[in-house]
């Protein structure tokens, strides 16, 4: 897919054109069925499908299940397909029916923009998960909030959520006049 407009660049949820709805606060994750965004280092584990790729779908992939880390519910794709994220340790050999495709555009990824964006969100969610075990305010160990991405500190009650798709906000000024504002 060619991306002539910056609004549709990979790693921008807008390129999914409303097809992806992130898991929301207070909702409960469904059963672990749906699309699997399995991240190993900076690669996404996909299934070759002709000239393209598709995500593993259904239950946790049986051939990888023993090696996969704890899964996270990322959201819903296409209105009815849940998306789950799971890490795969770097030393695990990927079975033949799967393929490792880089999530780094500068390394020549062949993933379409939608899979690249979902994979980018998955990588960000896993990074946050690996670095959010302690409260950023008081240092106590955090606990997962039931049915959410967030965590809560039992000591100071601070709730902390992953930072997905950080924004860059630009303001062009002429003295005290704002000429252009862009997210």
Per-residue pLDDT of the chain (183 residues; tens, 9 = 90+): 343 444 444 556 677 778 888 887 667 777 889 999 999 999 999 999 998 999 999 999 988 878 999 888 888 998 889 999 999 999 999 999 999 999 877 677 888 888 988 998 898 888 888 889 999 999 999 998 876 778 999 999 999 887 655 556 777 888 888 887 665
- In a domain? residue 182: no
What DSSP state is assigned to residue 140? P
The pTM of the full predicted model, rounded to 2 decimals, is: 0.78
- In a domain? residue 170: no
The b/e string for 56-87 (b: 16+ C-beta within 10 A; e otherwise) is beeebbeebeebbeebbbbbbbeeeebbbbbb
- In a domain? residue 36: yes
Count of structural domains within the chain = 1
Look up the CATH number of the domain holding residue 38.
3.90.79.20
């Amino acid at each position: 897919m060619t991306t002539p407009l910056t609004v549709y660049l990979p790693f921008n949820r807008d390129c999914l054109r409303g097809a992806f709805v992130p898991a929301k606060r207070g909702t409960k994750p469904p059963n672990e069925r749906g699309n699997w965004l399995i991240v190993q280092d900076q690669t996404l584990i996909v299934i070759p499908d002709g000239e393209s790729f598709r995500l593993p779908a259904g239950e946790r992939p049986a051939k990888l299940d023993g090696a996969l880390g704890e899964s996270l519910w990322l959201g819903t794709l296409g209105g009815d397909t849940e998306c789950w994220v799971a890490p795969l340790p770097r030393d695990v050999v990927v079975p033949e029916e799967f393929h490792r495709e880089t999530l780094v555009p500068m390394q020549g990824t062949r993933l379409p923009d939608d899979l690249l964006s979902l994979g980018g969100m998955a990588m960000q969610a896993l990074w946050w998960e690996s670095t959010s075990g302690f409260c950023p305010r008081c240092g106590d160990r955090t606990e997962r909030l039931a049915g959410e991405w967030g965590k809560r500190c039992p000591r100071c009650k601070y709730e902390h959520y992953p930072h997905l798709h950080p924004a860059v906000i630009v303001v062009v000024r002429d003295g005290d006049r704002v000429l252009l504002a862009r997210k």
